[in-house]
């Protein structure tokens, strides 16, 4: 018997019990097909949110059943601090219950609307945005494109940390056609990419990148870049880049938004590449918990700890590897983003070094000895620096160091692609410093 529909004359507590596992509380919100309730586990623990769907409505509405299935399938495979967690799915004969993580801070749009200027100072907008990027990078790495990224679907927990939610329109790998593209036009027009509005085949991850650009514009400007009730006119404006920045938006933020709001998806910057953008690497004086700013408190100096960690040197000791290309008078750098821990990253770089002919040594006790088999070029060194962008997102910078007095002879370039291949899934968003 459905606990919500129980007509028994039992106690009020019994009538609100969900299968003996949760005690349903007050209504938090409602949509076209669902209601969301506050609930507490009977066995004790943190409160949760329970999304209640009527089976008859779901099955009787075209396209609704696949949407629910997509939401459940996507959320089950995602476990990230900035993605709303699905704890479990329960069902009775008449209802479906999605038991989810509680986000008591509400959605980002409502919080922005409550601010006096309906926007955030840039340092706070950056903190919001890096969390959004961390969540979507994680989703894309697991084959999930959200396809409806907008402030209404970005929730806040009690500490002000972001939680991306509502994966009902998400696309999984099995959604791709034979051409490797998506073909279903979906999402919210003001945040949807031009190729989606024009019903062309599209890359779901690149469509999410466009939506991120719109959100960043909203966070900084307090308004939409494109806002027209006529979708065809709005699409034309988006294609012509007809938007204007308020004077307070910094040049670095403008450049980043321009890269995201690129009407050509082939040249639009990917979400996974954003951590290497200079706007992310600026001195961050931001609030690790956004609750204060989003509650309308005045702007203030906020502390954010993003420690840079000089982890180790990679010393080349392979007699078969031509390193003459290292010894010019330029540093050569690569950057990549990773969600692996520093320890995992170091371990994988160590394995890669073993295969490619490097020895990885820590800075403490480092001795650069003239090893047998190495040609007269001396020792080549690569420093590796890791910086936390937003947990668990790390930016890793690899730098080929220039040794004073070395020759300028040109040789084979360093084997970056080989290194990237050996790093596997640890390295995401691999870029040179000139890519931006």
Tell me which residues are annotated as active site: 148
Helix, strand, coil distribution of the chain in percent, nearest 5: 35, 20, 45
CA distance 69 to 169: 10
Q: Are 172 and 147 in contact (CB under 8 A)?
A: no
Which SS3 state, helix, strand or coil, does residue 153 take?
Answer: helix
The DSSP result for 244-308, as a single string, is: ---TTS-HHHHHHHHHHT-S-TTTSPPGGGGGGSHHHHS-----SSTHHHHTTPPP--------E
Alpha helices in 313-387 (DSSP H): 342-356
Tell me whether residue 51 is annotated as binding: yes
Which is it for strands 86-91 and 358-362: parallel, antiparallel or unpaired?
A: unpaired
Q: Are 107 and 154 in contact (CB under 8 A)?
A: yes
CA distance 228 to 224: 10
CA distance 124 to 103: 19
Smallest CA-to-CA distance from 192 within 173, 162, 164, 215 is with 215
CA distance 348 to 350: 5
Bridge partners, residue 38, by sequence = 49
Distance (Å) of CA 303 to CA 82, 184, 229, 300: 20, 43, 41, 10
> Taking the alpha carbons of 153, 159, 160, 164 in that order, is the dihedral positive or negative?
negative
Estimate to the nearest angstrom the gap between the alpha carbon of 74 and the chain centroid: 15
CA distance 389 to 373: 40
Which SS3 state, helix, strand or coil, does residue 81 take?
Answer: coil
Binding residues for ATP: 51
């Amino acid at each position: 018997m459905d606990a919500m529909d129980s007509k028994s004359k039992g106690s009020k507590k019994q009538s609100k019990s969900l299968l003996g596992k949760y005690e349903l509380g007050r209504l938090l919100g409602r949509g076209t097909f669902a209601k969301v309730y506050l609930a507490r586990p009977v066995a004790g623990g943190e409160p949760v949110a329970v999304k209640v769907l009527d089976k008859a409505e779901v099955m009787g509405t075209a396209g609704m059943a696949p949407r629910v299935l997509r939401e459940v399938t996507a959320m089950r495979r995602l476990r990230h601090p900035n993605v709303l967690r699905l704890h479990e799915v329960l069902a009775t004969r008449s209802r479906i219950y999605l038991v989810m993580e509680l986000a008591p801070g509400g959605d980002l749009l409502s919080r922005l609307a409550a601010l006096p200027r309906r926007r955030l100072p840039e340092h706070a907008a950056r903190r919001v945005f890096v969390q959004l990027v961390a969540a979507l990078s994680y989703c894309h790495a697991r084959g999930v494109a959200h396809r409806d990224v907008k402030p209404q679907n970005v929730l806040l927990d009690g500490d002000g940390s972001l939680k991306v939610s509502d994966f009902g329109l998400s696309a999984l790998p099995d959604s791709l056609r034979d051409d490797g593209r998506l073909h279903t036009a979906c999402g919210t027009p003001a945040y949807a990419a031009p190729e989606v509005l024009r019903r062309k085949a599209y890359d779901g991850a690149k469509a999410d990148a466009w939506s991120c650009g719109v959100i960043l514009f909203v966070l900084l400007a307090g308004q939409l870049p494109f806002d027209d009730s006529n979708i065809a006119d709005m699409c034309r404006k988006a294609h012509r880049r007809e938007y204007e920045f308020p004077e307070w938006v910094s040049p670095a933020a403008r450049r980043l938004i321009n890269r995201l709001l690129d009407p050509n998806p082939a040249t639009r910057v990917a979400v996974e590449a954003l951590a290497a953008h200079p706007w992310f690497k600026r001195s961050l004086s931001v609030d690790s918990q956004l609750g204060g700013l989003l509650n309308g408190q005045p702007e203030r100096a906020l502390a954010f700890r993003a420690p840079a960690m000089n982890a180790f040197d990679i010393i080349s000791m392979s007699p078969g590897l031509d390193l003459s290309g290292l010894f010019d008078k330029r540093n050569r750098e690569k950057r990549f983003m990773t969600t692996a821990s520093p320890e995992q990253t170091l371990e994988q770089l160590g394995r890669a070094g073993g295969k490619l002919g490097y020895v990885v040594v820590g800075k403490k006790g480092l001795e650069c000895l003239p090893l047998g088999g190495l040609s007269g070029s001396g020792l080549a060194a690569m420093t590796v620096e890791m910086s936390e962008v937003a947990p668990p997102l790390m930016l890793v910078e690899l730098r080929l160091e220039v040794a004073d007095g070395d020759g300028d002879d040109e040789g084979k370039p360093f084997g970056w692609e080989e290194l990237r291949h050996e790093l596997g899934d640890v390295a995401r968003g691999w870029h040179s410093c000139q890519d931006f």
